Chain A
């Protein structure tokens, strides 16, 4: 209360009138000195808010970002996302994946080895299609994500000879075996989302739409590694013979 009064009084005496009383200069100097003092505090450097992953002394576990309460669903997670087979997130909504892909399955149901495939019928099994059109751009994005997340183990071409395998990680199977070539896309999606044997899941490192892009790229790898000469378009044949060094 007394503070407010004082500052009011000051403003009146300094602001009005043309010639300032001398103590205004003194007040000015004092203000500057106050600023000098203030500059020694770190309140602006460390503001009372959390930066991402900052440690917290308020919560017992020391985390500032709270974990989801068991059984809750984040807002938006149930949104009908064509990239996320709905069967994975809620029972009885398996139609969406199928509706989005349209065409019937054209391969045998997935291999039966998949010990940790989620409940039978949860994935649209046998689907060999994509929930989005596969364009050159999809493949480029898939290649990028594949090179980030999968090459360390599966290798650039998918033979299972990545750098980490060379350092002693168990060798994953080659993508070019008959079995994996005939596995449906849904199997790949499931492996990325839920893991497979000694391979842990990549659900939080690869977003749903990128998972499909990665699968598209793996399919491209599989085609490329089993391509024959007559698969090459006519106008590219010349390049092939010269080893691609026409430039």
Chain B
């Protein structure tokens, strides 16, 4: 008998979930497995995945936390496009087959759980915080609303990692900083309180930084928060072009994807 979950509407139809299964600890190739999920009104893809986990196959691994599009943990590729599983209504997809893959351009921890280390390391490397010249803050740093507007859009990032998964440069260049880190670098550079431009320059202006974006725009297309990293990258190009005659020593980038070496480079 079909299980009906509490808190959702009536069962509308049964949908097949085709889920990519892969466990790097087992020496097996990735494979797709199919599960029949009764879809009730209001169910998201994450609910579908959890239904499978609870009632059909407890070995399926997925990552989630807030279930309301805030934490960014549940990003996955759903029917070929990066989306937050908790924000994707199954019925809105209007398909009888739902293909679920983990985010691309990352290693896989297990099944639908990508290893987001690359995302976090790249993010960390661009110094995602306000850099000041004085050692101790001296009080309140005033900022006008117009000054905040310059970077407000880019503060929306929830670090879901979807943009890196969609980015074609990321697929070929292991050392590329990626749309998320570049957008965050711009967010701080554009902040009137920040004085860290020179400290970030070496990394941004490296052979695997700002200039490697081919402006495919896939990052902006998939970003669930409308951050528009592609725009941030073009704005960064403008900033770098205006400062093209600043002299500094540029070290070659180290082989990635681990960016622990970035500290040395900076």
B and A form one assembly: no
Binding site for B on A (CB under 8 A): none
Binding site for A on B (CB under 8 A): none
